[in-house]
């Protein structure tokens, strides 16, 4: 059995995700690049498909296009660069302090390339999207165009995207949702990226809606969509 | 980059698959177990969905249920056990000699668990089906129920099946076709196996039809469905 396909280590006991049902969910969006996923969230919010607000964007690079886009949209965008901290713990601590101060309900990694250590109070409250069907083409080194280049090189006929709970490893936490795309013969990595991004545009908002529903729980490292808990 | 996702080593130059268009394709079916894929082929042949005949079945175990089923269907079924040979080369040589004698066009591995060394004259003429979306949950140790147990343990929301050209590694050759299934919450490995097998029942015959069409070629280790070659 190859490690690449192993389930999450030491899966925690059952976690019920309380969700946010009575008001717009407060999203923290973490970016490292173009911010296209952030723009998609804003489109979904404006069109009424996603009941959310974005009180805080955090970018891990000063000059990325996403910073400009966030600020143009009137959002608060803070830049926190890992290189300015002495280690992952210190960087993560600063990131989560900002998120706490902004009373963020749910943290969405949106092309965020820096590893984070997730504190206990954010357990079950950080989502990531990965542009492949995990556990294929994921893990260290598989980000952005590297994912699609590897998929094209292997000649897969199906790829897709995965929204998962983030843990403290790359592309490793419980999977919330996956959507497939057919890979056309002769597609380039860029063409595949565009096809997968079309799926991402619906998958990530749908995952956020599921998270908000109060119906999700994590059992043995697996995500289950159940009924509403009885106390609500 | 993890080895598990690597493309086939030293992909051969372009191979055009000539196919078989003017008569039923002569299938050799290699089994190790229950022979359910063989029965599916026979159903597809009898119902007119697959233009094929099965002049030879080879089983790698004497007492497997597939041997009984093949013989009950009136098929020639030979048992060749790896343990009766001094090595993979000798075993493979005996297998392909039988296939040659029966003038087999296309060899279909159908739950065949023994590694084979494919001789040059069978290059592009051996297909395998794997009950996951390669490169997920494949390679050494991932066969039968182990595949579905790993998929359920990882909590994937999508799995499927893959028909690929066999090379001399497990689950490693160029991919011909992949079909997805949604994994219901709470599904057991057996339930997932049943869902994936429903896809296999259409995927493998479809792959055989594509192989026969004369439109397939392998380029850089990837399968491409093109137009009919100009000389036909």
Query: Which residue from B minimizes the CA distance to A161?
Result: B158
Contact B2 A6 (CB under 8 A): no
In whole angstroms, what is the distance from residue A49 CA to residue A57 CA?
A: 20
For residue range A174-190, what is the model confidence (pLDDT) as tens digits?
Answer: 999 999 999 999 999 99
Q: Is A185 in a helix, a strand, or coil?
A: coil
Predicted pLDDT at B9: 59
Q: How far is CA B149 from CA A110, B144, B146, B183, in A?
A: 31, 9, 5, 12
Low pLDDT (below 50) residues in chain B: 1-2
**Residue A2: its pLDDT value, please?**
41
Please give the Cα distance from B116 to B93 (Å, whole number): 9
> Prior bond to A77 cis, omega within 30?
no
pLDDT at A9 over 70: no
User: What is this model's ipTM?
Assistant: 0.90
A184-204: b or e for each residue (b if 16 or more CB lie within 10 Å)?
A: eeebebeebbebbbebbbebb
Distance CA B71, CA B49 (A): 22
Strand partners, A126: A107
CA angle A81, A122, B156 (to 5 degrees): 100
User: Is the preceding omega at residue B21 within 30 degrees of 0, hence cis?
Assistant: no
Whole-angstrom Cα distance, residue B151 to residue B199?
16
The answer to whether B228 and B16 have CB atoms below 8 angstroms apart is no
Per CB-CB distance under 8 Å, the chain A contacts of B226 are 185
Interface of A with B in 4-43 (CB under 8 A): 4-7
Which residues in chain A are contacts of B222 at CB distance < 8 A? 152, 154-155
Whether B58 and B76 have beta carbons less than 8 Å apart is answered as no
CA dihedral A202, A144, A137, A220 (to 10 degrees): -60
Instruction: Give B142's contacts in chain A (Cβ within 8 Å).
Output: 1, 5
Task: Compute, in degrees rounded to 10, the torsion defined by CA atoms B187, B193, B196, B201.
Answer: -150
Residue B139 contacts A where some CB pair is shorter than 8 Å: yes
| d(C-alpha A154, C-alpha A148), whole Å | 10
pLDDT digits (tens, 9 = 90+) for A105-157: 999 999 898 889 999 999 999 999 999 999 999 988 898 899 999 999 999 99
pTM: 0.91
Q: Is A146 a catalytic residue?
A: no
Q: Which residue in chain B has the smallest CA separation from A5? A: B137
pLDDT of res. A1? 37
Structure confidence by residue, pLDDT tens digits, B58-75: 999 988 899 999 999 999
Query: Quick check: B220 and B11 in contact, CB under 8 A?
Result: yes
Rounded Cα gap, residues B37 and B40, in angstroms: 5
Report CB contact under 8 Å: A157, B177. Answer: yes
Among candidates A186, A211, A205, A224, which has minimal Cα distance to A37? Answer: A205
Catalytic residue among B46, B49, B130, B148, which? B130
Q: CA of B181, closest CA in chain A: separation in Å?
A: 10
H or E element that contains B28: strand B25-31
Q: A55 in helix, strand or coil?
A: strand
CB contact under 8 A, B155 and A175: yes
What three-state secondary structure class fits B205?
A: helix
Q: Are B95 and B58 in contact (CB under 8 A)?
A: yes
Q: Which token pair is B113?
A: 């668990």
């Amino acid at each position: 059995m190859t490690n690449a396909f192993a389930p999450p280590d030491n899966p925690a006991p059952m976690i019920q995700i309380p969700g946010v049902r009575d008001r717009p969910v407060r999203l923290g969006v973490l970016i490292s690049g173009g911010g296209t996923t952030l723009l998609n969230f804003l489109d979904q919010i404006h069109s009424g498909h996603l009941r959310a607000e974005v009180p805080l964007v955090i970018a891990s690079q000063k000059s990325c296009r996403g910073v400009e886009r966030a600020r143009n949209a009137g959002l608060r965008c803070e830049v926190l660069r890992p290189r300015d901290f002495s280690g992952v713990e210190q960087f993560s601590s600063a990131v989560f302090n900002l998120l706490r101060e902004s009373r963020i309900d749910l943290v969405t990694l949106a092309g965020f390339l820096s590893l984070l250590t997730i504190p206990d109070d954010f357990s079950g409250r950080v989502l990531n999207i990965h542009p492949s069907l995990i556990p294929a083409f994921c893990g260290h080194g598989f980000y952005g165009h590297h994912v699609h280049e590897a998929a094209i090189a292997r000649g897969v006929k199906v790829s897709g995207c995965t929204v998962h709970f983030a843990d403290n490893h790359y592309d490793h936490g419980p999977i919330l949702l996956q959507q497939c795309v057919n890979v056309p013969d002769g597609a380039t990595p860029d063409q595949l990226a565009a096809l997968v991004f079309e799926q991402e545009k619906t998958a990530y908002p749908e995952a956020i809606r599921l998270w908000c529903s109060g119906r999700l729980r994590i059992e043995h490292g697996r995500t289950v969509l159940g009924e509403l808990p009885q106390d609500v």
